Amino acid sequence: MDLHELLESTLTGLGYELVDVERSARGKLIRVFIDKSDGVGVDDCVAVSNHLSRLLAVENIDYDRLEISSPGLDRPLKKAADFIRFAGESAKLKLRVALQGQRNFVGILREVNDGVLKLEVDGKMLDLELNNLEKARLIPKL
């Protein structure tokens, strides 16, 4: 089981969603982004940090520093479920391969069907394949 799978199964059991995992080039820093329906607070980060510290020790995963964080207001969107959950929200997306000569889009997430995201941009609907997304983030409402 790789680190991502280990963290995902553990966090799901604790009632959290694994949003993302980052490892430094040498693998000594592990940064874990978590979320839950009513938001993530400092107490959540402390509880998850304590639990994962013990888990990583048991699994013999070598690291120097573990950081637990909420994904923030500009939360990254990674899985199809993220796009479904945040339908109706504004997002900024970057494609791997350009569509109509463009790689960057800002629009409103509409729906996902069969791996295709419908994104409303300036009143027009675009079909973007999820496997062509390089990066996607929510645009915070302030």
Where along the chain do its domains lie? 3-69, 80-138
* CATH tag for 3-69 (out of 3.30.300.20, 1.10.275.10, 3.40.50.80, 3.10.20.600): 3.30.300.20
Q: What does the DSSP 8-state code read for residue 76?
A: B
pLDDT tens-place values along the chain, 142 residues long:
789 999 999 999 999 999 999 998 886 999 999 999 899 999 999 999 999 999 999 999 989 999 999 999 999 999 999 999 999 999 999 999 999 899 999 999 999 999 999 999 999 999 999 999 999 999 998 8
Q: Extract the tokens encoding 94.
A: 């970057």
Burial readout 39-67 (b: 16 or more C-beta within 10 A, e: otherwise): ebeeebbeebeebbeeebeeeeeebeebe
- The residues that bridge with 107 in the sheet, in sequence order, are 91
For the chain, the straight-line distance linking the first and the last C-alpha, in angstroms and rounded, comes to 40
What is the per-residue pLDDT for 25?
Answer: 80
Pick the CATH number of 80-138 from 3.40.309.10, 3.40.50.2000, 2.30.30.100, 3.30.420.40: 2.30.30.100
DSSP reduced 3-state for 35: strand
CA distance 139 to 76: 10
* Model pLDDT, residue 126: 95
Q: Give the 3-state DSSP-derived string for 101-115, with helices as H, strands as E and coil as C.
A: CEEEEEEEEEEEECC
